[in-house]
Amino acid sequence: MTANHRFHPTSLPQLRVVSAKGEPGRSLALETMKSDFYFGQMLFHLTYAGRENQLLCCATPRQKEYVARFLAHVIEWYPAELEAGIAADEALLAYALWSEASA
């Protein structure tokens, strides 16, 4: 990606929960909580550059709310996995960014 590349709101895909195989209703981040821990990579993409994160800046209010609710779910239901993956602080940071932006 070049430094001049800019995201446009219409280029941001609608947030969907799908598995690695494309099955609706499942999440790669949740499927790998106890193995490869993809969730840590997802957190990087959700928090990179803080409030200037391009995904955050271009997401619709509905998308921001969805991401914040998903993060809240993971924080509530997977605390041991977050600690084991050394991602608890990053998860809380991501939740703070996305929930603040969706308010």
> What pLDDT, in 10s, does the model give residues 1-60?
333 334 333 433 344 444 455 555 556 566 666 666 678 888 999 999 999 999 999 999
Domain extent listing, the chain: 15-102
> What pLDDT, in 10s, does the model give residues 46-81?
999 999 999 999 999 999 998 999 899 889 988 998
d(CA 55, CA 4): 16
Contact 52, 99 (CB under 8 A): no
